[in-house]
Amino acid sequence: MKRLKDLRAKAKILFRIQKLENDDHFGDCKPVWEIVLMK
């Protein structure tokens, strides 16, 4: 994160991390094993 120069991108990443910590909401995602089994 220290080397990331785009402040807007850094803010979005930090916001997403905080949202994950507070809400336990991961969005639209599947466990890796489900993806592997589908292929």
pLDDT 10s digits, 11-38: 988 998 888 888 766 666 667 776 666 6
34 against 3, higher pLDDT: 3
| Residue 9 pLDDT > 70 | yes
Confidence (pLDDT) at 17: 85
- For residue 25, give the 3-state DSSP assignment: coil
Q: Is the residue at 1 inside a domain?
A: no
Domain annotation covers residue 16: yes
In a domain, 23, yes or no: yes
DSSP summary character for residue 26: -
How many domains are there within the chain?
1
Residue 2 domain-assigned (yes or no): no
Band of pLDDT at residue 39, cut at 50, 70 and 90? low
Q: Is residue 20 part of a domain?
A: yes
pTM: 0.53
Domain region containing 14? 7-38
